[in-house]
Structure 1
Amino acid sequence: MSLFAARTSQMRVRGQHESGRVTFVELFFDLVFVFAVTQLSHGLLAHLSLAGLAQMSVLLLAVWWSWINAAWVTNWLDPARPAVRMMLFALMLAGLVFAAAIPKGFEDRAVVLAVAYVSMHVVSDLMMLWSLNRHDAVNFRNFVRISLWHLAAAPIWLAGSYADATLRLELWVLAAAIETVAPILGYWVPWIGRSTTSEWVVAGNHMAERCGLFIIIALGESILITGATFATLTWTAEHIAAFLTAFVGSVALWAVYFNIGAERASRQIETSSDPGRLARSGYTFMHLPIVAGIIVIAVGDELVLHHPGGHIELPALAALVGGPVLYLVGNALFKRLSAPNLPLSHLIGLGLLVLAIPASLYLTPLTLSAATTAIMIVVAVWEWLSLRRREER
């Protein structure tokens, strides 16, 4: 393996003032995932069924793991290095192909989707092994473990792409489960052992900013869908009300995440004695339900824009209530890392959302959307006021 090694270090220089900043090439890379998130929400909207939900869920896992893997890689590697930039451009191309295949990922583009996804892992893993060999023995062993787990999942992704739709879903769920369980197990491999989070030396401010930017991507996608849908409609009073409700809801989502939680968590990971543990649990895992919630909320907003009045159908109810539930659960677990307890405001909000389910029998889609938006506003304002009073004491 000595020949397979970078001559000069490709790593970020730790300790400098701007060593953990997010670079423009990373932001450029993220543009692919704006498209990917849009494809997921459109795919869910086109397949409002349990089967459609299962399919989009497994593809969401693939989107998330491809993005968060790149975020971890650029936490260690320096994007200013030409080789690292070329890796990011290669990942962008594969990610763009993957995202383009999402609508027909369980049809005739399954092979393209699987090959594009697996190739993203291959490129990033080879780049990390090449960069770390002879430069960082501990992280090199870690990425040997990670690469072996990705190698175990890859044939299942590829085999699933050739199977019928039912078996394909089962195989892809298995592959996604392997990739999800792997970091929990420390990427344990026989004879090599497992990684410990103390070995994962990360720049906490970089990880916090990267994940915050992905939340912005998801929120931006929901705003794009709202604006694009509203532009095609007749601007009746109901449609205008639905449009305003969706926009206010997006602002409330932003406030719940960014007003308090994101900043506190960023400070926590920067000063933690084990930032790898927080990066794994808080940012790698707990941001997934937050992103899923935003996507489901965007679907609910579009359903309300098209049909603001009348009886609430089950898919609309599931999106209008389920999306905020996912979002609050993810935020509550995330904020628990920097607080002694789960935030009371979020628990109350979850309780109110549960009560909205039976109340929906007497509501239209628009009034239920307004109710869930009001709940999110209450959560954001409650949290802000309670923490502000606590800081003033």
Structure 2
Amino acid sequence: MGGRRGGLLREEKNGRYEPSPVELLFDLVFVFAATQLSVFLLKHLDLTGLLEAFVLLLAVWWFWDHIVWTTNWFNPDKWPVRLVLFVAMGLGLVMSTSILGAFEDLGVVFVVGYLGMHVLRGAFIIVAAWRESRELAMNLVRASIWVAISSPLWIIGAVADPQQRVWWWLAAIALNYFGPAVRYWLPVIGRSPVESWAVSGHHISERAQLFVIIALGESVLVMGFTFRGDWMNPASAFALFATLVGTLLLWLIYFNNTAGVAQKFFEKARESGRLAANAYTYLHLVIVAGIVLVAVGDELVLAHPDDPLDPSTAAVVFGGPALYILGNLLFKHSVGYRWLKSNIIGILVLILLFLLTTALGSLTPLIASWLANAVILAVVIGEEVAHRRSPAVGANLAP
């Protein structure tokens, strides 16, 4: 989508927009948000806490993703766009700092940050794009109406009894996520044209990769803060090594081959907006959720490496990598890979390990962590073998 000279829309540069420094600055808020989500889940490691953490993650991811799409269309080197990003950073910080109390006394603060972003983004795009791209402006009119429909659910949930809040917010976030899936259909004005959501595949791919690195970096922060230099304890030292190896293996699953394939796929895609929404807006959420669970598992392994393995710890130690591999499997399929057998087998083995270790109850978190790493390593090797055997990448990649 090209903009007229002097306008705020991106100038077309062969569809390749590099992330700007101000976008990277904006991302720093979400390093903190990822840490807060992990801490929240650690404090509420049960089914209710898992559901609440999931709703918070959905909101955090939706906030970040919407700003990414905004900077995909608008040039962040222009001062009006920069100011939007600065205000969005402030709203993101409001939301992130209220995560730990979102289901206690800070529900209103959390909603102010979240809905404030939507109001800011919608108003800016409608006004800024009205002359240069009426179609894009109308898209945001539709999107803003959908946000307005969901807003009462967010507000009612924020002032409702904390025990009921999760259900109000779950309904609200479901509406938010359902809107793009139906292209913000509304009576009379219909739905957004597919071509009007065209994006730079290179830019959105780079931004998603950076967020994955941010999330993985949060695991590294967890390692440092939890370990606290306890080198005299062999179990703690081996736990630190286990968590580091696990993070490196997760990085390989995503970055070793897939990132480059995905960029090439989107450079050739005709309906880039629809495909990017599926691959990066929805499927990357599963990847990030897996990383958050892995970070929680890392902290539990580092804090209690020699303790008996309880079901909650086993669930995150094995469930985090399984969810991460599932997200990568779905993402890779969305950009042209066949269904990778190594990923499917790895997920099944991790589930089996969870069931066996829970039933036996004789392992420690440290041993469980190394078992999970062994499975992830097998998945990495399986993917590499598949990639090397393939005569091409993308749609021709054999499992």
* TM tier relative to shorter chain: over 0.9
Q: CA offset at residue 234 of structure 1?
A: 6.3
* Inter-partner Cα distance in structure 2 for 1:168 and 1:340: 40
Mapping 1:117-132, distance limit 5 Å = 117-132=114-129
Q: Which residue of 2 aligns with 1:366?
A: 366
* Inter-partner Cα distance in structure 2 for 1:27 and 1:187: 29
* Inter-partner Cα distance in structure 2 for 1:339 and 1:68: 22
Q: CA offset at residue 312 of structure 1?
A: 1.2
* Inter-partner Cα distance in structure 2 for 1:235 and 1:61: 40
Query: Which deviates more, 352-361 or 217-226?
Result: 352-361
Q: In the alignment, residue 298 of structure 1 is paired with which amino acid?
A: A
* Inter-partner Cα distance in structure 1 for 2:30 and 2:173: 18
Per-residue Cα deviation, 1:68-103 (whole angstroms, up to 9, x for no partner): 000000000000110000000000001001100110
Q: Which residue of 1 aligns with 2:52?
A: 55
Q: Does 1:165 align with 2:142?
A: no
Query: Which deviates more, 109-118 or 213-222?
Result: 109-118
Q: CA offset at residue 320 of structure 1?
A: 0.8
Q: Does 1:11 align with 2:35?
A: no
Of 93, 98, 105 in structure 1, the residue corresponding to residue 95 of structure 2 is 98
Q: CA offset at residue 237 of structure 1?
A: 0.6
Q: Which residue of 1 aligns with 2:225?
A: 228
Q: Secondary structure at the match of 1:103?
A: coil
Q: Which residue of 2 aligns with 1:36?
A: 33
Q: CA offset at residue 219 of structure 1?
A: 0.2
* Inter-partner Cα distance in structure 2 for 1:155 and 1:51: 23
Q: Which residue of 2 aligns with 1:267?
A: 264
Q: Does 1:151 align with 2:148?
A: yes
Q: Which residue of 1 aligns with 2:378?
A: 378
Aligned partners of 2:185 and 2:191 also within 8 Å: yes
Q: In the alignment, residue 325 of structure 1 is paired with which amino acid?
A: A
* Inter-partner Cα distance in structure 2 for 1:99 and 1:42: 12
Per-residue Cα deviation, 1:224-247 (whole angstroms, up to 9, x for no partner): 111111016464110011100000
* Inter-partner Cα distance in structure 2 for 1:226 and 1:384: 28
Task: State the percentage of identical aligned residues.
Answer: 41
Q: CA offset at residue 7 of structure 1?
A: 11
Q: Which residue of 2 aligns with 1:200?
A: 197
* Inter-partner Cα distance in structure 2 for 1:54 and 1:369: 24
Query: Which deviates more, 63-72 or 369-378?
Result: 369-378
Q: Secondary structure at the match of 2:99?
A: helix
Query: Which deviates more, 52-61 or 339-348?
Result: 339-348
* Inter-partner Cα distance in structure 2 for 1:30 and 1:127: 20
* Inter-partner Cα distance in structure 2 for 1:181 and 1:303: 35
Mapping 1:291-330, distance limit 5 Å = 291-330=288-327
Per-residue Cα deviation, 1:161-219 (whole angstroms, up to 9, x for no partner): 11101221111011110001111111111111112433211111000000010000000
Q: Secondary structure at the match of 2:216?
A: helix
Of 333, 336, 344 in structure 1, the residue corresponding to residue 333 of structure 2 is 336
Q: Which residue of 2 aligns with 1:110?
A: 107
Q: Which residue of 2 aligns with 1:70?
A: 67
* Inter-partner Cα distance in structure 2 for 1:305 and 1:283: 32
* Inter-partner Cα distance in structure 1 for 2:31 and 2:13: 32
Q: 1:62 to 1:83 in 2, by over 3 A?
A: same
Q: Which residue of 1 aligns with 2:244?
A: 247
Q: CA offset at residue 337 of structure 1?
A: 1.8
Give RMSD over aligned pairs. Answer: 1.7
Q: In the alignment, residue 72 of structure 1 is paired with which amino acid?
A: W
Q: Which residue of 2 aligns with 1:390?
A: 390
Q: Secondary structure at the match of 2:183?
A: coil
Q: Does 1:177 align with 2:164?
A: no
Q: Secondary structure at the match of 1:104?
A: coil
Q: In the alignment, residue 192 of structure 2 is paired with which amino acid?
A: S
Of 42, 45, 48 in structure 2, the residue corresponding to residue 45 of structure 1 is 42
